[in-house]
Each structure stands twice: as structure tokens, then as C-alpha cells.
């Protein structure tokens, strides 16, 4: 059976899941999105992801055409329609169809779609060996130009950084802000460990407030770490005991080298390994439970 996609309140086979070439999500990157995971029939931090989506949309004055409860149900229906127990969920709200001008007032209705598919996991050796990162020439978007706290469809800042890292033969890029402070990677937040201190940049330097980031900060505080949000430079990373990155897709990944400097032992450190274990445990015990074999119950299913 073809993958079922939720598109504007209906579940349709992926071949029919198409949007207009006049959609401003496509013409201008005008829209917002979320990447969400489900683990063994539990959607992890679903509410938090949806709240972030509605908040990004609010700042863009983009009206999500349904209440949060309906969108929450739509995510579950999409998982059930595809009988997915472990999934990566992409939820997108675009400004919708308009004309060729960029005026959002010409787009009367937002487009909403949800793709739930099997998760393509990163190779497991990456979680042992660690990533090789480089700081890239492209600086992170200035928060007063396009605030990285908004998870919008305009990801070219990140894509340029990713191209630079790939061209230079590195796994990932670290973006600095215009002042030279470390912000984040192209799709992950960054942390360093120094003794019993866990340090990560504050949102005002220009980062997305990651949901995995918050989970790790909570886990660390419970494990007796002093969790500090403060601006820092590359030097602090080079000289840290351990560095790791976090994100919904990647979860927690150790960092072996940055700009060719070995970090700590050069492999996954004990603190990172402990957080990986605790985070995996959390994702298997906490979340919105659904029956992957159950029939979708909501409005979408009736269409
Ligand atoms: N930073 C950026 C730029 C991201 O796109 C993401 C999500 N892919 C993250 C950080 C991590 O956020 P989360 O833990 O909420 O997935």
C-alpha cells in the first residue's frame, strides 16, 4: 500500500499528495515545519513540537487553520494510517496558494500536510566514533533578520553551511554568529562538557530552542550537572572534555574533532554515552501513546 499522507484534512496516497506551484511555501519558503519522532508507539514531546509550530506561525502571522488538538489528532491518524510504530513525522504548514507577489494577504488558506515515514537512522558507528565538525564561513542568521527560533521553511542559511562542510569533507558545520560566538549546527544544537558543567549557547545568540536540547538539559540537571546557557567561542569547544550535538532526527551524537582539533579522548566520552542511554530510556517511556494497528479515528479517516 502506498504511503498515506495527511493533506488539508484528508489522508491521500502519496501520489496524490501534491501542492500548487503557486503555494508560497514553495515560491518564498513562507511557512513553518516540525520534525517529530515516535518510538515504539509513543510520540515524543508531541505537544512541545506543536506549540513551537504554532508559535513560529504566530510570529509570521500565519494562521494554522485548525486548533492544536485537531493537529495532534491528525499526527496520530497519519501514524495509524501507515501502521507505523517507530517513525519520523514531518509536519508542514505553508502560507498556501497565492499569486506571484509575496503579499501573504493573497493567500487565503494555509496548506497543512503531515508525512510519517520509517526513520532512516544514522549509522550506529557514528554514535561511537563521533562526528568531525568544522566551523563554516557562513554566519548564522542574525536574530533581527530571520530569528533562528522560528522554524521556517527558509533553511538556506543552514543549507549553505552544510554545503561548505560537505565540500571540505566534514560531517557537519558549526555556525558562528556575527560576533563570532558558537550558535549551532545545521540541524542540531551543540553542547560541551567541562567537569560537572554542561554548557550550551543561549537562544539570543541565534539558535533554535531545540526540544532535544531541553530534554538533555533536564536529564543533566537531574544527574547533578550544572547546566549553563552562556555565549562561548570555538576555543571553549576545542578545550572541552566532551562535545555532543542534539536533534530530533540525530538524537545525541558525540563529536570527535572540531576544525581538526581532537576533543577530549577523540571518541564518545562517558558523559555523552550516559546521556545517550538516559535519552533512549526517556523516549521509550514518555510520550503520547497510540495504537499503530488501530484504525484512524478522526475526521481524516472518514473522507
Ligand atoms: N537547530 C536547528 C537549526 C534545527 O533545525 C533543529 C531541528 N532539526 C535543531 C536545532 C534541533 O531541534 P530539536 O531537538 O527540536 O529537533
Domains of the chain from N-terminus onward: 4-119 (3.30.470.10), 126-282 (3.20.10.10)
Residue 302: the pLDDT is 38
What pLDDT shows up at residue 298?
65
Structure-block grid coordinates of residue 287: 510520550
Active site residue: 14, 45, 151, 278, which one? 151
Position 299 scores a pLDDT of 55
Q: 20 alpha carbon to ligand 1 midpoint, in Å?
A: 27
> Which long-range contacts (C-beta less than 8 Å, at least 24 apart) are formed by 157-164?
158/186, 158/187, 159/186, 161/136, 161/186, 162/186, 164/134, 164/136, 164/137, 164/138
Q: How far is the CA of 250 from the centre of ligand 1 (A)?
A: 9
pLDDT of residue 121: 77
Phi-psi region of 260 (alpha: psi -120 to 50; beta: other; left: phi over 0): left
Inter-CA distances, 98 with 208, 238, 302, Å? 28, 48, 29
Residues 35 and 115: their CA atoms lie apart, in Å, by 10
Residue 295 CA to residue 132 CA, distance in Å, equals 44
189 lines ligand 1 (CB under 6 A): yes
Q: Is 55 helix (H, G, I), strand (E, B) or coil?
A: helix
CB of 283 closer than 6 angstroms to any ligand 1 atom: no
CB of 56 closer than 6 A to ligand 1?
no
What ligand 1 atom has the least distance to the C-alpha of 151?
5
From the DSSP assignment, how many helices (H) and strands (E) are in the chain?
9, 16
Place of cell 555523552: 272
Q: Residue 303's pLDDT is what? A: 36
In sequence order, what are the residues at sequence separation of 6 or more whose Cβ sits closer than 8 angstroms to the Cβ of residue 294? Answer: 80
Give alpha helix (H) positions in 168-223. Answer: 211-222
Q: What is the pTM of this model?
A: 0.96
Task: Say how far apart CA 216 and CA 246 lie, in whole Å.
Answer: 8
CA–CA dist 91, 20 (Å, integer): 17
In the reported structure, the alpha carbon of residue 185 is separated from the centroid of ligand 1 by a whole-number distance in angstroms of: 9
Q: Which of 133, 245, 248 for a ligand 1 pocket mutation test, highest count of atoms within 8 Å of Cβ?
A: 248
Residue of 187, 213, 218 to test ligand 1 pocket, by largest number of atoms within 8 Å of CB: 187
pLDDT of the chain along its 303 residues, tens only? 899 999 999 999 999 999 999 999 999 999 999 999 999 999 999 999 999 999 999 999 999 999 999 999 999 999 999 999 999 999 999 999 999 999 999 999 999 999 999 987 789 999 999 999 999 999 999 999 999 999 999 999 999 999 999 999 999 999 999 999 999 999 999 999 999 999 999 999 999 999 999 999 999 999 999 999 999 999 999 999 999 999 999 999 999 999 999 999 999 999 999 999 999 999 999 999 999 998 887 655 433
Residue 158 near ligand 1, beta carbon < 6 Å: yes
The H-or-E segment that residue 279 falls in is helix 270-283
Residue with cell 496516497: 13
Residue 212 CB less than 6 A away from ligand 1: yes
- Alpha carbon 173 to chain centroid distance? 16
Amino acid at each position: 500500500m502506498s504511503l498515506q499522507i495527511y493533506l488539508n484534512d484528508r489522508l491521500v496516497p502519496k501520489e496524490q499528495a501534491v501542492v500548487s506551484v503557486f503555494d508560497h511555501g514553495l515560491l518564498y519558503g513562507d511557512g513553518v515545519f516540525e520534525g517529530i519522532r515516535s518510538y515504539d508507539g509513543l510520540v515524543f514531546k508531541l505537544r512541545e513540537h506543536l506549540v513551537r509550530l504554532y508559535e513560529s506561525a504566530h510570529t509570521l502571522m500565519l494562521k494554522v487553520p485548525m486548533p492544536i488538538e485537531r493537529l495532534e489528532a491528525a499526527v496520530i491518524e497519519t501514524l495509524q494510517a501507515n501502521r507505523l510504530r517507530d517513525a519520523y513525522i514531518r509536519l508542514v504548514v505553508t502560507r498556501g496558494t497565492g499569486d506571484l507577489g509575496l503579499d501573504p494577504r493573497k493567500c487565503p488558506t494555509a496548506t497543512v500536510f503531515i508525512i510519517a515515514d520509517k526513520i532512516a537512522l544514522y549509522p550506529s558507528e557514528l554514535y561511537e566514533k563521533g562526528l568531525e565538525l568544522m566551523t563554516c564561513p557562513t554566519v548564522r542568521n542574525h536574530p533581527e533578520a530571520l530569528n533562528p527560533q522560528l522554524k521556517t521553511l527558509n533553511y538556506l542559511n543552514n543549507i549553505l553551511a552544510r554545503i561548505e562542510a560537505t565540500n571540505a569533507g566534514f560531517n557537519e558545520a558549526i555556525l558562528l554568529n556575527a560576533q563570532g560566538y558558537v550558535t549551532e549546527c545545521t540541524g542540531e544544537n551543540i553542547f560541551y562538557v567541562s567537569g560537572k558543567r554542561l554548557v550550551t549557547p543561549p537562544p539570543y545568540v541565534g539558535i533554535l530552542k531545540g526540544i532535544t536540547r531541553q530534554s538533555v538539559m533536564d536529564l543533566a540537571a537531574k544527574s547533578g550537572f550544572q547546566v549553563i546557557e552562556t555565549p562561548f567561542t570555538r576555543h571553549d569547544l576545542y578545550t572541552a572534555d566532551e562535545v555532543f550535538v542534539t536533534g530530533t532526527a540525530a538524537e545525541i551524537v558525540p563529536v570527535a574533532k572540531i576544525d581538526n582539533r581532537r576533543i577530549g579522548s577523540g571518541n564518545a566520552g562517558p558523559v555523552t554515552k550516559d546521556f545517550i542511554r538516559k535519552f533512549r530510556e526517556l523516549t521509550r517511556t514518555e510520550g503520547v501513546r497510540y495504537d499503530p494497528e488501530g484504525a484512524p479515528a478522526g475526521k481524516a479517516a472518514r473522507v
